A and B are shown apart, each in its own frame.
Chain A
Amino acid sequence: MLKPPYAEKDISGCAVVGIMNISGNNFGSEKIVNAIKCMRDRSNGLGGGFAAYGIYPEHKDLYAFHMMYLDTNRRYDAEDFLKKKFNIAASERIPTAKVNSISESPVLWRYFLSVENKPPLMSEEDFVVQTVIYINANIDGAFVASSGKNMGVFKGVGYPEDIARFYKLQDYEAYIWLSHGRFPTNTVGWWGGAHPFNILDWSVVHNGELSSYGTNARYLEMYGYKCELMTDTEVVAYTMDLLMRRHKLPLNLVAKVIAAPLWKEIDNLEPKERRILTRLRQTYSSLLLNGPFSFIIANQDQMIGITDRIRLRPLIYASNKDMFYISTEEAAIRTIESDLKNIKIPRGGEPVVAQLLTSDIRHQTSSSREGATN
């Protein structure tokens, strides 16, 4: 099954982890698989997945579409559609292995595309976003799992470590890896609904539930997004796409939108900052992500972790030389590097950022405190 089994909001609890080499050096999937496996008890086998950045250097300027199809006929339909919009430079079946615990996998295929027929006034990125939204909403039996450049999402119904074996992730190297283990309350898992959720270069893994989903989704819909999947992750990804790519808000301000400081805090700031944060919250009040969440979101340049403003979901981070880790649980990080010294807990609503190609790690959590490191 590719698309939501019920016309209702998808609810799930989860484990998330992200690992980045900020020098941009690729590394294998072993670390991320071990890390997510360590938090197996947080998921229930109904969804797992990975996002990997840097895996297609030979096609790095092309949009890599990871597609899921119900059957081969649907693949032909979707390919006819893609050909109208894009030039297909290369395409192939995504290699998979037989894994006992994973049955009924969809037809998985990947394409490397350049934009061919876009309306003149639309940006290439907007065009790709609109195309992906269109396919997912309108083409039966076809689902775009990821659509960014030099990256891909590998996800499905199963425990994450099984998904890794299924997709033969041991054959890939990336400089950012995200992973997610899912615990949906639905009994039926569906391949499209597994995390990471991706749109363009953005991939999101998410833990928690947005109590504000309805408010957020209805706001995003005014900007052309269609929240078809009824998942919080989709809302998070669209929110980040709108604020960062389209509205070009700096990350520190994006954080102040999605995890807005309390009015009481804003009122006590210096006038200049107060003015900015007041207008920011007035303008984007419908994009406050309310309720428990922690998520890790990445694009080619950065990996960001953040929790809701009163930290109803855990998140922890650490770094060592050019490796940066963000995870739901400390144990997952320690699985990879057992003697890390500076494991930290970010404050609610304050983003943790791993930035590519910067010698020092710019995490904007001045007030983080040391986690339990002994």
Chain B
Amino acid sequence: MKTYIPHKFEVNINDKCIKCLVCVKQCSFSALSFDEDDATIYPDNNKCVACHRCTTLCPTKSINIVKNPIVYHPNEYWKANVIEDIYKQAETGGILLSGTGNDKDYPVYFDRILLDASQVTNPSIDPLREPMELRTYLGKKSDRLQFKENKKSTTTIKTKSEPQVKLETPIMFAAMSLGAISYNAHQALARTAEEHGTLYNTGEGGLHKSLYKYGKNTIVQVASGRYGVHHEYLNAGSVVEIKIGQGAKPGIGGHLPGEKINAEISQTRMIPEGTDALSPAPHHDIYSIEDLAQLVYAIKEATFYKKLVSVKIAAVHNVAAIASGIARAGADIVTIDGFRGGTGAAPTVIRDNVGIPIEMAIAAVDDRLRKESIRNNVSLVASGGIRNSVDVVKAIALGADAVYIGTSALISIGCTMCQKCYTGKCAWGIATTNPQLAKRLNPEIAYKRLSNLLRAWSLEIKEILGAMGLNAIESLKSNRLRLRGVGLSAEELKILGIKQAGG
């Protein structure tokens, strides 16, 4: 059927082109072709997704991609994307899909919050010379410690210990399965997590044999499909995460299409090649909060009470009450994924319209857990749209113990947010299982870039802490007095638990 959708981008190639054909070979969306007869590279603008693979690799920088200037009759209601979505559905009869997170123009609360700094009454601290601590422990904390004096007047701790997991920086890598992203990407995340003393998350895709050695820095995920979940897997990491929901698609299951299930993916998911990997919307052994407790303790039994159990939910309207239930169901970590969270594939209507901002969710959950005096029972991890070190700082000051980053991590290794992850054609070798594409991601370079990113953010967090006069990240947790709002309503300020700037 002929499409009525005009092309979004125009590829322009100027006369500096030396016809090396790198661009043609690199374009995984087949938007460029070489005509041998007239020795010319022709773009097919309809296929260009503006992923920048060609422009980045072009040796003479002779390619440029611009927006198609075509206009519709001006209409503030029936905008271009609305019209084109309808065209697309009329042409396919299908559910619209998107990759990455919600890209709509909702308020970004992180950008309406400003940080405090010390002036005169308390000193700012110079992080380059004075000690500055980012270490965070995840896990249940006792409400108090009891000690006993022994015969030899040595002190020992009477209070039962709960497993704790150490993070040397409060930034972890969010769940992205092997299959959703390539092996090289997974390996780079694992290596970086190890180097920086933090954790990466397997997502629901099992764990590749060669990555078991990063166990200490691994969160293994158990989602509704239970792919690749078995005794050895459950005991392989430091944390087992039960994935209930994801910020990009709350209440929606997952669906890794059969084309992506090649030999490697088949091995870690433990399903035959070429079959769809369906993750049901709910866990079919969890239809209620007490069922969640049942799975939490099934995992604790299976891991001999040595691993932390995290429960990840999407930030939805009554997230505070749900989080309280999770804390009471025995989880060690509650992970909240905000509506900006990324995904390899989600129905666009869900991605763009379901959930609440992570800033609100964290503030509400931290408040509720404190009000009920159960904040010590769980660690709180914020996830979904963390873009930079300042977002990390703001999330922690609003009440999180640590954060996950997914999209930012992928951007650091080359993702340009073209939103086509679900096609499996990722030109950067990140969100693909096609071996020809996947090998484009050099694991060594990916690891260095990720590692640089964590280093840079950690340094910036130290700078910010120093400016605030704090020398340990634990003194930032829920320290909302060090935040101020700008351009927010009284109700918004109240939910965030922060004051208006100037007040």
**A contacts B directly in the complex (CB < 8 Å)?**
yes
Residues of A bordering B, CB below 8 Å: 8-9, 11-13, 185, 208-215, 218, 221-223, 246-250, 253, 260, 262-264, 272, 275-276, 279-280, 282-286, 288, 290-292, 310, 312
CB of A310 within 8 A of CB of B130, answer yes
Contacting residues, chain B, for A11 (C-beta < 8 A): 121
User: 7 more A-B contacts (CB under 8 A) besides A247-B144, A285-B472?
Assistant: A8-B503, A211-B118, A211-B468, A214-B397, A285-B474, A290-B472, A291-B470
Contacting residues, chain A, for B482 (C-beta < 8 A): 211, 214
Chain B proximity of A261: nearest CB distance (Å): 10
| Interface check B481, CB cutoff 8 A | yes
CB of A218 within 8 A of CB of B370, answer yes
**Complex alpha-carbon distance, A334 and B99, angstroms:** 73
Once A249-B145, A282-B141 are accepted as A-B contacts, the answer to whether A213 and B121 lie under 8 Å apart by CB is: no
Contacting residues, chain B, for A208 (C-beta < 8 A): 122
CB of B123 within 8 A of CB of A222, answer no
CB of B133 within 8 A of CB of A263, answer yes
CB of B481 within 8 A of CB of A291, answer no
**Complex alpha-carbon distance, A291 and B469, angstroms:** 6
Chain A proximity of B113: nearest CB distance (Å): 14
Contact pattern, B 127-151, Cβ under 8 Å of A = 1, otherwise 0: 0001101010101011011110000
**Complex alpha-carbon distance, A86 and B397, angstroms:** 42
CB of B470 within 8 A of CB of A212, answer yes
Chain A proximity of B496: nearest CB distance (Å): 13
Once A276-B157, A279-B161 are accepted as A-B contacts, the answer to whether A212 and B475 lie under 8 Å apart by CB is: yes
Residues of B bordering A, CB below 8 Å: 118, 121-123, 130-131, 133, 135, 137, 139, 141-142, 144-147, 154-157, 159, 161, 164, 370, 373, 375-376, 397, 468-472, 474-482, 499, 503
**Complex alpha-carbon distance, A312 and B499, angstroms:** 28
Query: Can you report 11 A-B residue pairs in the complex whose CB atoms are below 8 A from each other?
Result: A211-B118, A212-B479, A246-B144, A260-B472, A283-B142, A285-B141, A288-B475, A291-B470, A310-B131, A310-B471, A312-B122
Chain B proximity of A222: nearest CB distance (Å): 5
Contacting residues, chain A, for B154 (C-beta < 8 A): 272
Chain A proximity of B51: nearest CB distance (Å): 42
Chain B proximity of A256: nearest CB distance (Å): 11
Chain A proximity of B165: nearest CB distance (Å): 11
CB of B481 within 8 A of CB of A214, answer yes
CB of A290 within 8 A of CB of B470, answer yes
CB of A211 within 8 A of CB of B475, answer yes
**Complex alpha-carbon distance, A282 and B137, angstroms:** 7
Chain A proximity of B316: nearest CB distance (Å): 24
Chain A proximity of B57: nearest CB distance (Å): 44
**Complex alpha-carbon distance, A335 and B29, angstroms:** 84
CB of B475 within 8 A of CB of A290, answer yes
CB of B147 within 8 A of CB of A215, answer no
Chain B proximity of A144: nearest CB distance (Å): 25
Chain A proximity of B85: nearest CB distance (Å): 45
CB of B370 within 8 A of CB of A221, answer yes
Chain A proximity of B131: nearest CB distance (Å): 5
- The residue of chain B having its C-beta at the shortest distance from the C-beta of A275 within the complex is B157
CB of A215 within 8 A of CB of B503, answer no
**Complex alpha-carbon distance, A249 and B133, angstroms:** 25
CB of B478 within 8 A of CB of A218, answer yes
**Complex alpha-carbon distance, A210 and B397, angstroms:** 15
**Residue among A9, A246, A276 with max Cβ neighbours from chain B (10 Å):** A276
Chain A proximity of B178: nearest CB distance (Å): 32
**Complex alpha-carbon distance, A53 and B100, angstroms:** 65
Contacting residues, chain A, for B481 (C-beta < 8 A): 9, 213-214
**Complex alpha-carbon distance, A5 and B100, angstroms:** 49
Once A9-B481, A11-B121, A214-B478 are accepted as A-B contacts, the answer to whether A249 and B373 lie under 8 Å apart by CB is: no
Contacting residues, chain B, for A290 (C-beta < 8 A): 469-472, 475
Contacting residues, chain B, for A263 (C-beta < 8 A): 133, 135
- The residue of chain B having its C-beta at the shortest distance from the C-beta of A263 within the complex is B135
**Complex alpha-carbon distance, A286 and B143, angstroms:** 12
**Complex alpha-carbon distance, A191 and B296, angstroms:** 53
Chain A proximity of B41: nearest CB distance (Å): 57
Chain B proximity of A334: nearest CB distance (Å): 27
CB of B479 within 8 A of CB of A215, answer yes
Once A208-B122, A209-B122, A222-B370 are accepted as A-B contacts, the answer to whether A215 and B137 lie under 8 Å apart by CB is: no
Once A222-B375, A250-B147, A283-B141 are accepted as A-B contacts, the answer to whether A292 and B122 lie under 8 Å apart by CB is: yes
Contacting residues, chain B, for A291 (C-beta < 8 A): 118, 122-123, 469-470, 475
Contacting residues, chain A, for B373 (C-beta < 8 A): 222-223
Contacting residues, chain B, for A250 (C-beta < 8 A): 147, 155
**Complex alpha-carbon distance, A283 and B75, angstroms:** 58
CB of A264 within 8 A of CB of B477, answer no
Contacting residues, chain A, for B155 (C-beta < 8 A): 250, 253, 276
**Complex alpha-carbon distance, A70 and B493, angstroms:** 33
Once A290-B471, A291-B470 are accepted as A-B contacts, the answer to whether A211 and B122 lie under 8 Å apart by CB is: yes
10 pairs of A and B residues whose beta carbons are closest in the complex: A212-B475, A290-B475, A214-B479, A214-B481, A285-B474, A211-B469, A209-B122, A247-B144, A215-B479, A11-B121
**Complex alpha-carbon distance, A366 and B297, angstroms:** 48
